[in-house]
Structure 1
Protein backbone atom coordinates (compact mmCIF):
# COMPACT_ATOMS: atom_id res chain seq x y z
CA UNK A 1 0.00 0.00 0.00
CA UNK A 2 2.86 2.36 0.62
CA UNK A 3 4.00 1.87 -2.97
CA UNK A 4 0.56 2.87 -4.25
CA UNK A 5 0.58 5.94 -2.02
CA UNK A 6 3.88 7.03 -3.54
CA UNK A 7 2.64 6.49 -7.07
CA UNK A 8 -0.30 8.81 -6.61
CA UNK A 9 1.73 11.88 -5.65
CA UNK A 10 4.02 11.30 -8.65
CA UNK A 11 1.01 11.02 -10.92
CA UNK A 12 -0.54 14.07 -9.33
CA UNK A 13 2.73 15.97 -9.67
CA UNK A 14 2.98 14.91 -13.34
CA UNK A 15 -0.54 16.16 -14.01
CA UNK A 16 0.23 19.40 -12.20
CA UNK A 17 3.40 19.91 -14.25
CA UNK A 18 1.54 19.12 -17.49
CA UNK A 19 -1.22 21.56 -16.55
CA UNK A 20 1.37 24.25 -15.86
CA UNK A 21 3.12 23.59 -19.16
CA UNK A 22 -0.17 23.79 -21.02
CA UNK A 23 -1.04 27.02 -19.21
CA UNK A 24 2.36 28.52 -20.10
CA UNK A 25 1.99 27.43 -23.73
CA UNK A 26 -1.50 28.91 -23.99
CA UNK A 27 -0.38 32.16 -22.38
CA UNK A 28 2.51 32.38 -24.86
CA UNK A 29 0.18 31.80 -27.79
CA UNK A 30 -2.25 34.42 -26.54
CA UNK A 31 0.55 36.91 -26.02
CA UNK A 32 1.88 36.26 -29.52
CA UNK A 33 -1.61 36.64 -30.96
CA UNK A 34 -2.19 39.89 -29.12
CA UNK A 35 1.12 41.20 -30.40
CA UNK A 36 -0.11 40.71 -33.95
CA UNK A 37 -3.03 43.03 -33.21
CA UNK A 38 -0.64 45.90 -32.48
CA UNK A 39 0.33 46.72 -36.06
CA UNK A 40 1.99 50.18 -35.94
CA UNK A 41 1.14 50.99 -39.57
CA UNK A 42 -2.52 50.09 -39.03
CA UNK A 43 -2.57 52.16 -35.85
CA UNK A 44 -1.04 55.09 -37.76
CA UNK A 45 -3.73 54.76 -40.44
CA UNK A 46 -6.56 54.55 -37.93
CA UNK A 47 -5.33 57.57 -35.95
CA UNK A 48 -4.76 59.78 -39.00
CA UNK A 49 -6.52 63.05 -39.72
CA UNK A 50 -9.03 62.24 -42.44
CA UNK A 51 -8.84 64.21 -45.68
CA UNK A 52 -11.58 64.89 -48.19
CA UNK A 53 -12.47 61.68 -49.98
CA UNK A 54 -12.04 60.99 -53.67
CA UNK A 55 -14.12 57.85 -53.15
CA UNK A 56 -13.62 54.11 -53.09
CA UNK A 57 -12.85 51.86 -56.03
CA UNK A 58 -13.08 48.07 -56.22
CA UNK A 59 -11.29 46.59 -59.18
CA UNK A 60 -11.46 43.08 -60.55
CA UNK A 61 -8.37 41.28 -61.82
CA UNK A 62 -6.95 42.86 -64.98
CA UNK A 63 -9.05 46.01 -64.53
CA UNK A 64 -7.19 49.29 -64.78
CA UNK A 65 -7.86 52.21 -62.53
CA UNK A 66 -7.63 54.64 -65.47
CA UNK A 67 -10.55 52.95 -67.21
CA UNK A 68 -12.73 52.07 -64.21
CA UNK A 69 -12.33 55.18 -62.05
CA UNK A 70 -11.61 58.23 -64.19
CA UNK A 71 -13.56 60.52 -61.83
CA UNK A 72 -11.55 59.40 -58.80
CA UNK A 73 -8.27 59.94 -60.63
CA UNK A 74 -9.33 63.46 -61.64
CA UNK A 75 -10.12 64.15 -57.97
CA UNK A 76 -6.58 63.13 -56.93
CA UNK A 77 -5.00 65.05 -59.81
CA UNK A 78 -6.96 68.18 -58.89
CA UNK A 79 -5.86 67.90 -55.26
CA UNK A 80 -2.23 67.44 -56.34
CA UNK A 81 -2.39 70.42 -58.70
CA UNK A 82 -4.07 72.70 -56.12
CA UNK A 83 -1.90 71.67 -53.17
CA UNK A 84 -4.87 70.19 -51.35
CA UNK A 85 -5.27 67.02 -49.36
CA UNK A 86 -7.34 64.03 -50.50
CA UNK A 87 -7.77 60.29 -49.94
CA UNK A 88 -8.73 57.39 -52.17
CA UNK A 89 -9.36 53.75 -51.24
CA UNK A 90 -8.63 51.11 -53.89
CA UNK A 91 -9.38 47.40 -53.42
CA UNK A 92 -7.81 44.85 -55.77
CA UNK A 93 -7.93 41.05 -55.60
CA UNK A 94 -4.84 38.88 -55.57
CA UNK A 95 -4.51 36.02 -58.07
CA UNK A 96 -6.19 33.81 -55.47
CA UNK A 97 -8.98 36.36 -54.98
CA UNK A 98 -7.95 37.76 -51.58
CA UNK A 99 -8.58 41.50 -51.25
CA UNK A 100 -5.72 43.97 -50.94
CA UNK A 101 -6.74 47.47 -49.88
CA UNK A 102 -4.60 50.48 -50.72
CA UNK A 103 -5.22 53.95 -49.34
CA UNK A 104 -3.73 56.84 -51.32
CA UNK A 105 -3.36 60.15 -49.46
CA UNK A 106 -2.17 63.48 -50.71
CA UNK A 107 -1.14 65.48 -47.64
CA UNK A 108 -1.28 69.27 -47.21
CA UNK A 109 2.56 69.18 -47.18
CA UNK A 110 2.59 67.79 -50.73
CA UNK A 111 3.39 64.16 -49.93
CA UNK A 112 1.78 61.11 -51.48
CA UNK A 113 1.29 58.40 -48.84
CA UNK A 114 0.26 54.84 -49.65
CA UNK A 115 -1.02 52.55 -46.90
CA UNK A 116 -1.50 48.92 -47.94
CA UNK A 117 -3.66 46.51 -45.96
CA UNK A 118 -2.70 42.91 -46.76
CA UNK A 119 -4.33 41.37 -43.69
CA UNK A 120 -6.83 39.37 -45.77
CA UNK A 121 -4.21 38.02 -48.20
CA UNK A 122 -3.58 34.49 -46.98
CA UNK A 123 -0.36 34.20 -49.05
CA UNK A 124 1.33 37.34 -47.72
CA UNK A 125 2.71 38.60 -44.43
CA UNK A 126 -0.87 39.65 -43.55
CA UNK A 127 0.29 43.04 -42.31
CA UNK A 128 -0.05 46.69 -43.17
CA UNK A 129 2.72 48.53 -45.04
CA UNK A 130 3.49 52.17 -45.78
CA UNK A 131 5.31 54.08 -48.51
CA UNK A 132 5.54 57.77 -49.36
CA UNK A 133 6.85 60.18 -51.95
CA UNK A 134 7.74 63.70 -50.82
CA UNK A 135 7.36 65.58 -54.10
CA UNK A 136 5.01 63.69 -56.40
CA UNK A 137 4.79 65.22 -59.85
CA UNK A 138 2.38 62.62 -61.13
CA UNK A 139 0.23 59.85 -59.71
CA UNK A 140 1.52 56.37 -60.28
CA UNK A 141 -0.58 54.07 -62.40
CA UNK A 142 -2.93 52.12 -60.20
CA UNK A 143 -4.20 48.89 -61.70
CA UNK A 144 -4.95 45.27 -60.90
CA UNK A 145 -3.23 43.63 -63.84
CA UNK A 146 -2.19 40.49 -61.93
Structure 2
Protein backbone atom coordinates (compact mmCIF):
# COMPACT_ATOMS: atom_id res chain seq x y z
CA UNK A 1 0.00 0.00 0.00
CA UNK A 2 1.38 3.39 -0.99
CA UNK A 3 1.36 6.27 1.49
CA UNK A 4 0.28 9.64 0.04
CA UNK A 5 3.17 12.10 0.02
CA UNK A 6 1.23 14.55 2.23
CA UNK A 7 0.82 11.95 4.97
CA UNK A 8 4.50 11.06 4.72
CA UNK A 9 5.48 14.71 5.13
CA UNK A 10 3.22 15.01 8.19
CA UNK A 11 4.82 11.88 9.68
CA UNK A 12 8.32 13.28 9.09
CA UNK A 13 7.33 16.60 10.67
CA UNK A 14 5.93 14.82 13.73
CA UNK A 15 9.11 12.77 14.09
CA UNK A 16 11.22 15.92 13.91
CA UNK A 17 9.08 17.65 16.54
CA UNK A 18 9.30 14.66 18.84
CA UNK A 19 13.10 14.62 18.58
CA UNK A 20 13.18 11.34 16.63
CA UNK A 21 14.45 12.72 13.34
CA UNK A 22 16.81 9.78 12.80
CA UNK A 23 14.42 7.76 10.63
CA UNK A 24 11.02 7.94 8.98
CA UNK A 25 8.34 5.28 9.54
CA UNK A 26 9.51 3.54 6.34
CA UNK A 27 13.02 3.16 7.75
CA UNK A 28 14.56 5.92 5.61
CA UNK A 29 17.04 8.30 7.19
CA UNK A 30 15.33 11.46 8.38
CA UNK A 31 15.78 14.79 6.63
CA UNK A 32 18.46 15.86 9.11
CA UNK A 33 20.85 13.02 8.32
CA UNK A 34 19.99 11.71 4.84
CA UNK A 35 22.89 13.57 3.23
CA UNK A 36 25.41 12.36 5.81
CA UNK A 37 24.25 8.73 5.60
CA UNK A 38 24.34 8.81 1.82
CA UNK A 39 27.76 10.49 1.72
CA UNK A 40 29.18 7.75 3.97
CA UNK A 41 27.63 4.83 2.09
CA UNK A 42 29.96 1.87 1.57
CA UNK A 43 27.96 1.03 -1.58
CA UNK A 44 29.07 4.20 -3.41
CA UNK A 45 31.44 3.85 -6.37
CA UNK A 46 35.08 4.17 -5.33
CA UNK A 47 35.41 7.38 -7.38
CA UNK A 48 32.83 9.00 -5.09
CA UNK A 49 35.04 8.63 -2.02
CA UNK A 50 37.98 10.67 -3.30
CA UNK A 51 39.97 13.08 -1.15
CA UNK A 52 39.26 16.19 -3.23
CA UNK A 53 38.28 19.28 -1.23
CA UNK A 54 35.18 20.91 -2.72
CA UNK A 55 33.35 24.14 -2.01
CA UNK A 56 29.59 23.69 -1.65
CA UNK A 57 26.74 25.05 -3.73
CA UNK A 58 24.40 23.62 -1.10
CA UNK A 59 22.42 20.63 0.11
CA UNK A 60 18.81 20.96 -0.97
CA UNK A 61 15.72 18.82 -0.66
CA UNK A 62 13.24 19.16 -3.50
CA UNK A 63 9.54 18.48 -3.30
CA UNK A 64 7.77 16.63 -6.15
CA UNK A 65 7.98 18.60 -9.44
CA UNK A 66 10.25 21.24 -7.83
CA UNK A 67 13.37 22.17 -9.79
CA UNK A 68 16.83 23.15 -8.63
CA UNK A 69 16.73 26.92 -7.95
CA UNK A 70 18.34 29.16 -10.57
CA UNK A 71 20.86 30.67 -8.12
CA UNK A 72 22.12 27.16 -7.31
CA UNK A 73 22.38 26.32 -11.03
CA UNK A 74 24.40 29.52 -11.49
CA UNK A 75 26.69 28.55 -8.58
CA UNK A 76 27.49 25.28 -10.33
CA UNK A 77 27.85 26.77 -13.82
CA UNK A 78 30.25 29.45 -12.58
CA UNK A 79 32.54 26.68 -11.30
CA UNK A 80 32.64 24.40 -14.38
CA UNK A 81 36.27 23.87 -15.48
CA UNK A 82 37.41 26.42 -12.87
CA UNK A 83 36.86 25.14 -9.32
CA UNK A 84 36.05 21.97 -7.38
CA UNK A 85 32.44 22.40 -6.24
CA UNK A 86 29.64 20.07 -5.14
CA UNK A 87 25.86 20.34 -4.99
CA UNK A 88 23.83 17.69 -3.16
CA UNK A 89 20.15 17.25 -4.03
CA UNK A 90 17.52 14.97 -2.49
CA UNK A 91 14.55 14.47 -4.78
CA UNK A 92 11.58 12.16 -4.29
CA UNK A 93 10.56 9.30 -6.53
CA UNK A 94 6.89 9.03 -7.52
CA UNK A 95 6.34 6.97 -4.35
CA UNK A 96 8.17 9.53 -2.20
CA UNK A 97 11.43 7.64 -1.68
CA UNK A 98 14.52 9.89 -1.71
CA UNK A 99 17.15 9.78 -4.45
CA UNK A 100 20.31 11.64 -3.45
CA UNK A 101 22.33 13.11 -6.32
CA UNK A 102 25.76 14.70 -6.04
CA UNK A 103 26.72 17.10 -8.83
CA UNK A 104 30.44 17.91 -8.96
CA UNK A 105 32.62 20.24 -10.95
CA UNK A 106 36.38 20.11 -11.26
CA UNK A 107 39.08 22.56 -12.22
CA UNK A 108 40.45 19.81 -14.47
CA UNK A 109 37.24 18.80 -16.30
CA UNK A 110 34.60 20.48 -18.42
CA UNK A 111 31.11 19.43 -17.48
CA UNK A 112 29.35 18.02 -14.45
CA UNK A 113 30.12 14.70 -12.78
CA UNK A 114 27.06 13.04 -11.24
CA UNK A 115 26.67 10.37 -8.58
CA UNK A 116 23.10 9.29 -7.78
CA UNK A 117 22.32 7.16 -4.75
CA UNK A 118 19.21 4.99 -5.19
CA UNK A 119 19.72 2.97 -1.99
CA UNK A 120 16.56 4.39 -0.39
CA UNK A 121 14.31 3.75 -3.41
CA UNK A 122 12.27 0.73 -2.32
CA UNK A 123 10.91 0.06 -5.82
CA UNK A 124 14.11 0.84 -7.71
CA UNK A 125 17.40 -0.97 -8.23
CA UNK A 126 18.81 0.40 -4.92
CA UNK A 127 22.10 1.02 -6.74
CA UNK A 128 24.36 4.00 -7.30
CA UNK A 129 24.67 5.54 -10.77
CA UNK A 130 27.71 7.52 -12.00
CA UNK A 131 28.08 9.63 -15.14
CA UNK A 132 30.19 12.44 -16.58
CA UNK A 133 28.05 14.97 -18.44
CA UNK A 134 29.73 17.41 -20.79
CA UNK A 135 26.99 19.98 -20.25
CA UNK A 136 26.51 22.99 -18.07
CA UNK A 137 24.28 22.58 -15.03
CA UNK A 138 21.60 24.68 -16.74
CA UNK A 139 21.48 22.25 -19.69
CA UNK A 140 21.69 19.25 -17.41
CA UNK A 141 18.60 20.43 -15.50
CA UNK A 142 16.70 20.97 -18.78
CA UNK A 143 17.84 17.95 -20.79
CA UNK A 144 19.31 15.44 -18.35
CA UNK A 145 22.61 13.66 -18.86
CA UNK A 146 22.58 11.79 -22.16
CA UNK A 147 26.37 11.58 -22.57
Category of TM-score, reference length = shorter chain: 0.5 to 0.7
What RMSD in Å do the two structures reach over aligned CA positions? 2.2
Question: Secondary structure of the equivalent of 2:78?
Answer: helix
Indicate if the aligned counterparts of 1:85 and 1:106 stay in contact, CA closer than 8 A. Answer: yes
CA distance in 2, matches of 1:52, 1:89: 12
Indicate if the aligned counterparts of 2:118 and 2:127 stay in contact, CA closer than 8 A. Answer: yes
TM-score by length of 2: 0.60
Alignment counterpart, residue 56 of structure 2, candidates 49, 53, 56: 53
Structure 1 unaligned regions, length at least 5: 1-36
CA distance in 2, matches of 1:62, 1:79: 26
Tell which has more relative contact order, 1 or 2 (C-alpha 8 A, sep 6+): 1
Structure 2 unaligned regions, length at least 5: 1-40
Please state how far the C-alpha of 1:47 moved relative to its aligned partner. Answer: 3.4
Structure 1 or 2: more helix by fraction? 1
Counterparts of 1:1-146 in structure 2 under 5 Å?
Answer: 39=43, 41=45, 43-65=46-68, 69-80=69-80, 83-111=82-110, 112-133=112-133, 135-136=134-135, 138-139=136-137, 140-141=140-141
TM-score by length of 1: 0.60
1:47-76 CA distances to partner (integer Å, 9 max, x unpaired)? 3423111011110101122xxx22211211
Question: Secondary structure of the equivalent of 2:119?
Answer: coil
Question: Secondary structure of the equivalent of 1:121?
Answer: coil
Number of equivalenced pairs? 100
**Higher-Rg member (1/2):** 1
